[in-house]
């Protein structure tokens, strides 16, 4: 599928064929594409929790207002971010760079994040959003539909997946085969409503 078509056709789908199974190869391909998403300083702080255990999915569904896509989707992900990835062996993010470049970037990473909790959180959420869109467009290109979710009890889901203290949950994503076509778009704002030239 052409990328323009994937963007035009991607919609949030909530009713999935619970009998359809995604192959391990498809999951691997999808996640391999997701980790090509850009992150500031290449720190790649997203963490993709693939929820396979049916019992755990049921518990997450209960914490998500009983939304069926949690259990019915072929693939259910809790997209998290490591807030402290910037200080965990940061040299690995630039292992292939020339030494002067690597040394400059390691210093820049420390200066940008150290002691700035809000910056760490904001960057984690920005990067997770980019990765989520990559996942959903890649899924569409593979013939799957998806549903990004923030309608759940974040604290409860964090408890269920044993979220580490220095991580946060950005959102969940359900991916699978739809049972019916997506509804028409609710109403897109025009470019004139959302595009500002130079200044507000």
Residue 136 belongs to some domain of the structure: yes
The pLDDT score that the predictor gives to residue 6 is 84
Residue 141 belongs to some domain of the structure: yes
Residue 199 belongs to some domain of the structure: no
Domain count, the chain: 1
Residue 200 belongs to some domain of the structure: no
Whole-number Å distance between alpha carbons of 114 and 118: 11
Residue 110 belongs to some domain of the structure: yes
Which CATH number do you get for residue 190? 3.40.109.10
88 neighbors 44 (Cβ within 8 angstroms): no
**Helix, strand or coil, per DSSP, at residue 145:** strand
Specify the pTM: 0.93
**What's the average pLDDT block by block, 10 residues per block, for the chain (200 residues)?**
84 94 96 97 97 98 98 98 96 95 95 96 96 97 96 98 98 96 87 94
**Residues spanned by the domain of 96:** 3-194
Residue 171 belongs to some domain of the structure: yes
Please say whether the dihedral angle defined by the alpha carbons of residues 94, 99, 101 and 103, taken in this order, is positive or negative: positive
- Give 156's contacts (C-beta < 8 A, 6+ positions apart): 63
82 neighbors 88 (Cβ within 8 angstroms): yes
The pLDDT score that the predictor gives to residue 183 is 84
- 166 Cα distance to chain centroid: 17
The pLDDT score that the predictor gives to residue 185 is 85
Of the CA atoms within 13 Å of residue 193, those in its CB half-sphere come to: 4
The pLDDT score that the predictor gives to residue 2 is 86
């Amino acid at each position: 599928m052409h990328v323009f078509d994937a963007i035009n056709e991607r919609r949030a789908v909530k009713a999935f064929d619970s009998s359809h199974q995604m192959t391990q190869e498809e999951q691997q391909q999808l996640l391999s594409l997701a980790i090509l998403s850009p992150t500031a300083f290449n720190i790649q702080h997203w963490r993709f929790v693939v929820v396979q255990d049916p019992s755990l999915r049921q518990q997450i569904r209960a914490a998500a207002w009983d939304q069926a896509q949690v259990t019915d989707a072929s693939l259910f992900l809790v997209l998290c971010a490591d807030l402290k990835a910037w200080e965990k062996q940061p040299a690995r993010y630039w292992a292939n760079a020339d030494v002067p470049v690597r040394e400059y970037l390691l210093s820049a990473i420390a200066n940008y994040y150290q002691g700035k909790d809000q910056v760490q959180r904001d960057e984690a959420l920005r990067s997770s959003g980019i990765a989520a869109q990559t996942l959903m467009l890649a899924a569409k290109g593979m013939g799957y539909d998806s549903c990004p979710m923030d309608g759940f009890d974040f604290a409860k889901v964090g408890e269920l997946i044993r979220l580490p203290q220095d991580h946060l949950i950005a959102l969940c994503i359900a991916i699978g085969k739809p049972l019916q076509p997506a509804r028409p778009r609710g109403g897109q704002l025009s470019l004139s409503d959302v595009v500002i030239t130079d200044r507000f």
